[in-house]
Amino acid sequence: MDTPAGGTDVNLSDGIRADSLHDGGMLAGKAGGDDVVLVRSGENFFAVQANCPHYSAPLAEGIVVGDTLRCPYHHACFRLQDGEVQAW
């Protein structure tokens, strides 16, 4: 089920099987009414904003590097733990 972009119609609040995302895998969807990207990093799962606030790039099309998610358009780095911008 590892769908990189997924779709914002996926209700992540319903949960997913832990083994449906590999390490570094992402799934776009909704949680609590917000568009988010679910990211697996090791045994941890994180939900961060779905779009880059700079150019509205779909972050599910970015890449996971260490403990950050990188924007596919301009490589801004967002900390997985809380979605904070680490570098523009």
Average pLDDT over residues 22-31: 94
Residue 3 confidence (pLDDT):
43
Backbone angles phi, psi at 45, to 5 degrees: -120, 140
Q: Is the pLDDT of residue 7 over 80?
A: no
Using the predicted structure, report yes or no on whether residue 31 has a pLDDT greater than 60: yes
Burial class (CB in 10 A: 0-12, 13-18, 19+), 14: exposed
The three-state DSSP-derived secondary structure of 11-35 is: EHHHCCCHHHCCCCCEEEEEECCEE
pTM of the model: 0.84
Residue 2 has pLDDT above 60, yes or no: no
Average pLDDT (74-87) is 93
Domain ranges of the chain: 22-87
Q: Are 25 and 2 in contact (CB under 8 A)?
A: yes
CATH dotted code for 22-87: 2.102.10.10
Closest CA to 25 of 12, 8, 6: 6
Q: What pLDDT does residue 55 have?
A: 84
Give Cα separations from 7 to 2, 37, 67, 85, 86 (angstroms): 12, 10, 23, 23, 26
Give the mean pLDDT of the chain: 89
